[in-house]
Chains A and B, each alone.
Chain A
């Protein structure tokens, strides 16, 4: 079974802190994603990575950066946390497949509260 593991289920940080959210997948997937989920807004893509050191901005990249130094690990960085970044963060991975079989596997989510 594919496993996507996020480093924390719950996190509380102070405004202005630098925050690291870590995600690891164990199935050699090329694609990895970071989404944030807010009530009524669904899942919004922050960043997408399709290979090591390769990244693409999603719909809401402002205030975030990412790092993918190894294929299995994708980190989301909040450079200076703000209260409007309080949210549920979801990491996912998928295989890049020319037959369009791109089912994504999700971690359990990190509920981040910025105070």
Chain B
């Protein structure tokens, strides 16, 4: 069964705006990860947040994790056209076995 569910399914914003994507999951986790996929390609790891962390930053990315609500959010600040891609959250419940959600399609328009 799908562990993570992203919201929204699709998001369209203007360049320079911030983009926020949310992920909900069902069971306890060791960590939660976010990945990016450009059209028709493999996924690229963006950021990992452990279950004992609440917030993490990497460049223009900010991830939060609320284990009490079993949810996470990914914020991309000052979006660029090159950020256009699909974004997936993935949960690791044990041993690195990753379960992915359905993804958010982000379109950043000039």
Contacts and interface: CB of A to CB of B under 8 A. Distances in A.
Given A100-B50, A101-B48, A103-B33, A50 B96 contact: yes
A31 B100 contact: no
Given A48-B97, A101-B48, A41 B102 contact: yes
A interface secondary structure, majority:
strand
A104 B45 contact: yes
A7 to B, nearest CB: 14
Contact of A42 (B42, B97, B100): B100
B43 interface: yes
What size tier do the contact residues of chain B reach?
20 to 34
Interface residues of A, number: 33
A106 B36 CA distance: 11
Interface of A: 4, 30-31, 33, 35, 40-45, 48, 50, 56, 59, 88, 90, 92, 94-97, 100-109, 111
